[in-house]
Amino acid sequence: MSTIRLGDEAPNFTTQSTEGEINFHEWLGDSWGILFSHPADYTPVCTTELGTVAKYKAEFDKRNVKVAALSVDGLESHNGWIKDINETQGTTVNFPIIADEDRKVSTLYDMIHPNANDKLTVRSVFVIGPDKKVKLIITYPASTGRNFDELLRVIDSLQLTAYHKVATPANWNNGDDCVIAPAVTNEEIPTLFPKGHTEVKPYLRMTPQPNLK
């Protein structure tokens, strides 16, 4: 079983989904991606999660993020369950749900944790950059539904820090001040951060978010 760490290339795979066959890397193209697993179809927490993702599609699109869900159930089960999601959550599922009955993808991404459950996937989340590298990994137990507002917040941070020499402090939200990366010298700051900065300590320098007008 593989162990995936931050910075590793996200394993590629070709498999069936509710939107047809997917070659994961080709499907991602130049987009960012979220691959997330749910323990099983026709379960209550998962139903609310997938409904929430469908409602957030415009937010993911705005950030150039493609989302795919996965469980160890098959296509027939997925397609039947989608009807329930649409009905109970007042939405329309608008992203692929990957069928993984042979657990090929679950094994590639280490989504089955035997001490939690030896048959079902845990709630794994992988955020993948356009370079196909893993940027974020979060694992929840089956009993705890995910906070997709937090995932949007993290993607905002990942995209900001990928293109600007900043980091984001605790509880940062889009629009808040950022931390200037330690590798940036004081002499470079006026050029890189023309909005100015505040030096709290020599190692803690704050600047307005650089990608906002």
Residue 180's pLDDT is 97
Q: Of 103, 118, 145, which residue constitutes the final position of a domain?
A: 145
Rounded distance, CA 201 to CA 49, Å? 42
10, 46, 68, 180: the active-site residue: 46
Kindly tell me the burial class for residue 190, based on how many C-beta atoms sit within 10 Å of its own C-beta (0-12, 13-18, 19 or more). exposed
User: Phi and psi (nearest 5°) for 72?
Assistant: -85, 15
Contacting residues for 122 by C-beta, under 8 A, at least 6 apart: 37, 39, 111, 112, 113, 116, 139, 140, 141, 142
Q: Of 117, 145, 173, which residue constitutes the final position of a domain?
A: 145
Q: H/E element holding 17?
A: strand 14-17
Boundaries of domain holding 202 = 164-207
Residue 154 in any domain: the answer is no
Tell me which residues of the chain have a pLDDT lower than 70.
1-2, 113-122
Same domain, 184 and 127: no
Domain count, the chain: 2
Residue 188's pLDDT is 95
Q: Is 46 a catalytic residue?
A: yes
Same domain, 30 and 100: yes
Same domain, 139 and 60: yes
Q: What is the CATH number of the domain that holds 178?
A: 3.30.1020.10
Residue 144's pLDDT is 87
Residue 115's pLDDT is 53
Same domain, 134 and 102: yes
